[in-house]
DNA sequence: GCGACAG
DNA sequence: ATCTTGTCGC
């Protein structure tokens, strides 16, 4: 699929923050989620020494069967800084997406979207660059406060920050720690949570990110 | 000054 | 993210 050219890549935090400020207005945080989601893409990155491997796995949203996979190798071009995480993984993720022959209906990122200190996490950034609906599903909280959701699968509680609901702590499996869902681009929070639940019928994390996680690791091993 | 801090 | 043995449970 086609992805817009990346903006000049930042070298230091100051430049990265400026880019987030410039792109933030482009994120669509109010549209209803996509009406017909037939394919969903999961993205993840694995690290080893001074290398990293990005993987994208497209699944049939109905059967969760794999439709297509793509990977890309890269070197970390930016240090890990909470809040600027996207600048570390985006180049490789975009390369992997470009190698895809199909254009997925939704992107499921491992990390946050709106639930970010500047309201522009990886999911928002990737959504803006691709123009595709995207959501963020993180394993741990980055910002905000929340009450522990009920113990049953499907239970959730709002994650509030600065007086607004930036995401939700969603229990995808009974008795298991919740995941943190937030809007990225062109998708509403209800749809994001519904999709996350559909994608996680058996495990805590959605099949999309589980599949992408495995693929990124084996890509690294295969060198 | 003291914590908190996606992956 | 990654470094790592055993252990509890379905």
Indicate the class that CATH gives domain A13-221: alpha beta
| Strand B interface, protein residues by Cβ within 7 Å | A 44-45, 47, 80, 82-86, 110-112, 116, 121-123, 136, 138-142
pLDDT at A8 over 90: no
CA–C1' gap, A62 and B4, in angstroms: 39
Counts of helices then strands in chain A (DSSP H, E): 5, 8
Number of residues that this document lists for chain A: 223
What is the rounded end-to-end Cα distance, in angstroms, of chain A? 24
Asked whether residue A81's C-beta has any atom of DNA/RNA strand C within 7 A, the reply is no
Q: What is the pLDDT of residue A11?
A: 92
Please identify which residue in the block is written with the tokens 């794999």. Answer: A66
Express each pLDDT in A10-38 by its tens digit. 999 999 999 999 999 999 999 999 999 99
User: Can you tell me the distance from the alpha carbon of A125 to that of A118, in angstroms, rounded to the nearest whole number?
Assistant: 12
Q: What does the pLDDT average to over A155-160?
A: 97
Express each pLDDT in A48-107 by its tens digit. 989 999 999 999 999 999 999 999 999 999 999 999 999 999 999 999 999 999 999 999
User: Can you tell me the distance from the alpha carbon of A131 to that of A128, in angstroms, rounded to the nearest whole number?
Assistant: 5
Asked whether residue A7's C-beta has any atom of DNA/RNA strand C within 7 A, the reply is no
Q: What 3-state class would DSSP assign to A50?
A: coil
- Smallest CA–C1' separation from A120, nucleotide: B6
Q: What does the pLDDT average to over A174-191?
A: 97
Q: What is the DSSP string of A9-36?
A: PPSSHHHHHHHHHHHGGG---SSPPPS-
Are the beta carbons of A162 and A60 closer than 8 angstroms?
A: no
pLDDT at A222 over 90: no
Q: Which nucleotides of B are covered by protein (CB under 7 A)?
A: 5-7
Residue A44, marked binder:
yes
Q: Where are the domains of chain A?
A: 13-221
pLDDT at A223 over 90: no
């Amino acid at each position: 699929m086609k992805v817009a050219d990346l903006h000049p890549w930042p070298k230091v935090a100051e430049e990265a923050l400026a880019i987030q400020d410039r792109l933030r207005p482009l994120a669509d945080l109010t549209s209803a989620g996509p009406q017909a989601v037939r394919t969903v893409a999961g993205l993840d990155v694995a690290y080893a020494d001074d290398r990293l491997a990005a993987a994208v796995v497209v699944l049939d949203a109905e059967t969760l069967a794999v439709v297509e996979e793509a990977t890309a190798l890269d070197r970390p071009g930016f240090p890990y800084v909470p809040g600027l995480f996207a600048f570390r993984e985006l180049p490789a993720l975009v390369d992997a997406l470009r190698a895809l022959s199909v254009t997925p209906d939704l992107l499921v990122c491992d990390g946050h979207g709106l639930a970010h200190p500047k309201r522009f996490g990886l999911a928002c950034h990737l959504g803006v660059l691709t123009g595709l609906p995207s959501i963020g599903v993180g394993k741990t909280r980055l910002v905000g406060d929340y009450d522990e959701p009920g113990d049953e699968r499907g239970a959730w509680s709002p994650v509030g920050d600065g007086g607004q609901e930036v995401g939700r702590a969603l229990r995808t499996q009974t008795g298991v720690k919740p995941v943190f869902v937030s809007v990225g681009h062109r998708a509403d929070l209800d749809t994001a949570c519904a999709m996350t639940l559909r994608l996680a019928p058996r495990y805590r994390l959605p099949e999309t990110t589980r599949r992408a996680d495995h693929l990124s690791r084996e890509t690294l091993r295969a060198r």
